Structure 1
Amino acid sequence: MAAEANNVNEDGNEEAQLADTDTDFSDSDYEIDEGDDDLFDDNIDFDVDEEEEVEEPDVEPEYVLDDEDLDLTKEEEEYLKYKFRTFNAKVDMKSPIFKVGMVFADVKELRNALTAYSIRQRVKIRKVKNEPSRLDAVCQKGCPWMLKAGKDNRTGGIVIKAYAAEHRCPKKWKLRSLTSKILTAYFIDEFRDDQKMSLGTFSRKVTKEFNVTPNRWKLARARKQALKEIHGDEEEQFNKLWDYGSELRRSNPGSTFLLSTALVKDTNFPLGRKCLKTLYWSYDACKRGWLKGCRPIIFIDGCHMKTRFKGILLSAVGIDPNDCIFPIAMGWVEVECTSSWEWFLTTVRDDLNVRNTAPFTIMSDKQKGLINAVKKVWPDSEHRFCVRHLYQNFHEKHKGEVLKQDLWAIARSPNKVKWRENCQRMDGHCSAAFHWTERLDVKTWVKAYFSDFSKCDILLNNNSEVFNR
């Protein structure tokens, strides 16, 4: 019997080992076999929805100040009272909200917050006590609003210790606290987007934002200050030109910076003072890029500077292979005249190391001083005129959209046959307008007569708004 029992045990162990090694064998306590339906019915709850979300239990916050069950000491209550109530000037200054226990960095920050609050709420706040470590503020007589703040040794700042937020006073339409300095700081970005904003538009923006109506003089001062911050101090900028030139030569070798001054005497400076006379600068990369990769055509023009010191800003630009503007050199002179243009064109020619001017083309408007300067400094270059500037003179005597299109059709004529057809069309529309164009040299403004060496048939000046067509 013992032998048979041993054989049975050995057979059982062999079957168990085979079951462990057989991948097709499956025997799980979690599967329902035949005859086990009663186990399924007894252990499954059909009323439970498995897809229903499990609601998380409500978690009490870390600090509950109003919970009566908390047994806190006075020191702990004071600590929790001043926790997480710091005033953030970058975010909260536009529309301040005061609370007892709010911490400010210093009394100056609290003053600025009170000013912003007064403007937003359109109320007049009066500072009863205004000291470096203490500030008490009240509203008008009969209004319960009040605020008391003082130095706090625990936080190291100014803390609001008493505050009543209710107002019973009428709103104000004019506030002395809304100064031009505050208007400048608030609307500085508006003036960056529109530097020609009128006072009427500015007044409407202020009224919409603050519901107050400041006087015209305050708006004018705010606009002037905003433009000054945007453009900077012009006198200080001129005084830094020498430093800029030295840094340009040091950091960008090969660049050119030329500045000349003149001694001027007046009542304020009887001994005289140095004033800027001419200025020229160009960058080494621009000069090398134009000489190696751009067409041999130079567009020159000048524009009046509407600043305190006035003057004329001169520019010389080229055209890159993508027909985009490529800067070459810039200059500044006191007035636009023949001598000023001769100096600028001579400096550009020498700076670019041009010895033979025949391969180059110069394009400009018909300013008399500029025409004479080009003939003298770039004698062998082809000189073209901007058709847009020609049309401005043409429009003074001959108006109308038809004549405008005829003028541009003549200028864009690709060959002489097409040019004759366009001239006959204008002559049929208005003979006086056609005779006006006959006085112009066709080589200076008609595409059919341009030389093809520069590989450029652009008819517009570099300052034209349609140049980037």
Structure 2
Amino acid sequence: MSILVLKTAIAGFLNDIRNDPNFRPKCIQEQIQDRYNLVVTGDKCRKAKKIALDIIIQSEFEEQYARIKDYELHILERGLSIVGQSSAYIDGCFLKSTTKGQLLAAVGRDANNQIFPIAWAVVNVEETESWVWFIQLLKKDFNLKNGDGFTLVSDRQKAVHQELPKVEHRMCARHVYGNLKKDFPKQPKMTKLFWHLVESHNKGDYGISLANIKDFNVDVYDGVMKRNPETFSRAYFKTTSTCEDALNNFSESYNSAIEKARALPLVEMLETIRRQAMLRIDIRKNARALKLVRSLLLKSFTENIVGSILDQRDSLKLKRSQSHIKST
């Protein structure tokens, strides 16, 4: 069986290989025998899989970039809408396909304290220049101006301050702690002291927490101070966002939620993420509407029952009164 014929046969397994690049040649060998009644060696299956990965799938991924402008026009024709937010979380994650690059995403918090996807973009590498570009787009779409009255949670301090000098910028306490732990490993007491600092709700508790860290270890104290603890301690958080988050868990949860989409070719990935966001918003919206309807129905039912009970009570009182009058 020639490699050309095998390459044609392997086209039937493209989706399997695309979804699972580790799809085993042995599985291909068995399925070719079942589907086409052909016997092939494991070596030829390995070569054919390499051809599929290197040529067929790679050409599909490259084609995606040629389609990106068409996709942009298609999205713009449908119209864009931005829901007002007073805070956002931004983070980046790697693409999981053969396409090299990273996905930058901004998510917010809806009225039910759940993830609300805001914006996402693909860049070559997660660096300051890429983040400046991404934040510029957020700044334009949200009309953030200098950032006054807005809260942003991220570890991209330079890019944020460059574009939004008045924004309330919070560093992710978990990222700060991770870096601190690398500098000072095997310090179990440091963990407790650090999170006491993060969870301080006023400046008095903040000062006590800092003093406790200094008493514990001066080097650890210096390491904390270098990272500007006011940006990740609740004692210094503004109330404009009505949010006490010192963590970027929302971004990390969202990155996990779109993990399968990040393995798709470029345009399919962007469209899948968009549809997932629309579906998420619609489900939450319908759930809230259903909850409201149930609450109103329950209220109406309760009022009717209470009214009926009161009517029966008044009727019973009247009958007793009339009976008492007759007896006298």
Aligned to 1:454: 241
Aligned to 1:464: 252
**Aligned-pair CA distance for 1:393:** 1.7
Rounded Cα–Cα distance in structure 2 between residues aligned with 1:317 and 1:447: 21
- Correspondence 1:400 to 2:190: no
Corresponding residue to 2:89 among 292, 299, 304:
299
- The alignment covers a number of residue pairs equal to 249
Aligned to 2:230: 443
Contact 1:203–1:214 (CA under 8 A) maintained in structure 2: no
- RMSD of Structure 2 on Structure 1 (CA): 4.1
Corresponding residue to 2:220 among 433, 436, 453:
433
For the residue of structure 1 that corresponds to 2:130, the secondary structure is helix
- Correspondence 1:237 to 2:237: no
Residue deviations 1:128-185 (CA, integer Å, cap 9, x gap): xxxxxxxxxxxxxxxxxxxxxxxxxxxxxxxxxxxxxxxxxxxxxxxx9x95776774
* Amino acid of the structure 1 residue aligned with 2:237: F
Corresponding residue to 2:164 among 378, 381, 401:
378
Aligned to 1:314: 104
Q: TM-score, normalised by structure 1?
A: 0.44
Can you give the 5+ residue segments of structure 1 that lack an aligned partner in the other structure?
Answer: 1-114, 116-175, 256-283
* Amino acid of the structure 2 residue aligned with 1:393: N
**Aligned-pair CA distance for 1:428:** 5.4
**Aligned-pair CA distance for 1:359:** 0.5
Can you give the 5+ residue segments of structure 2 that lack an aligned partner in the other structure?
Answer: 34-38, 257-328
**Aligned-pair CA distance for 1:460:** 2.1
* Amino acid of the structure 2 residue aligned with 1:321: A
Rounded Cα–Cα distance in structure 2 between residues aligned with 1:213 and 1:183: 12
Corresponding residue to 1:340 among 130, 133, 140:
130
Contact 2:199–2:234 (CA under 8 A) maintained in structure 1: yes
Indicate the structure (1 or 2) with the bigger Cα radius of gyration: 1
**Aligned-pair CA distance for 1:445:** 0.9
For the residue of structure 2 that corresponds to 1:451, the secondary structure is coil
Q: Percent identity?
A: 26
- Cα distance, 1:346–1:434 mapped onto 2, change above 3 Å: same
Residue deviations 1:356-410 (CA, integer Å, cap 9, x gap): 6211012211xxxx43332232111111111222233212211237234443332
- Correspondence 1:246 to 2:32: no
- Cα distance, 1:183–1:236 mapped onto 2, change above 3 Å: closer
Contact 1:359–1:381 (CA under 8 A) maintained in structure 2: yes
Which is richer in strand? 1
* Amino acid of the structure 2 residue aligned with 1:303: C
Rounded Cα–Cα distance in structure 1 between residues aligned with 2:94 and 2:122: 10
Rounded Cα–Cα distance in structure 2 between residues aligned with 1:422 and 1:206: 61
Contact 2:170–2:231 (CA under 8 A) maintained in structure 1: yes
- Cα distance, 1:237–1:188 mapped onto 2, change above 3 Å: closer
Rounded Cα–Cα distance in structure 1 between residues aligned with 2:92 and 2:130: 11
- Correspondence 1:353 to 2:143: yes
Residue deviations 1:296-335 (CA, integer Å, cap 9, x gap): 1122223344655533432222111222221222233344
Corresponding residue to 2:154 among 358, 364, 384:
364
Q: Which structure 2 residues correspond to residues 129-144 of structure 1 after superposition, within 5 A?
A: none
**Aligned-pair CA distance for 1:340:** 3.4
- Cα distance, 1:224–1:323 mapped onto 2, change above 3 Å: farther
Rounded Cα–Cα distance in structure 2 between residues aligned with 1:204 and 1:407: 52
Q: TM-score, normalised by structure 2?
A: 0.60
Rounded Cα–Cα distance in structure 1 between residues aligned with 2:201 and 2:135: 30
Aligned to 1:225: 52
**Aligned-pair CA distance for 1:238:** 1.3
**Aligned-pair CA distance for 1:206:** 6.9
For the residue of structure 2 that corresponds to 1:464, the secondary structure is helix
Aligned to 1:331: 121
Contact 1:300–1:316 (CA under 8 A) maintained in structure 2: yes
- Cα distance, 1:189–1:233 mapped onto 2, change above 3 Å: closer
Rounded Cα–Cα distance in structure 1 between residues aligned with 2:47 and 2:208: 57
Which is richer in helix? 2
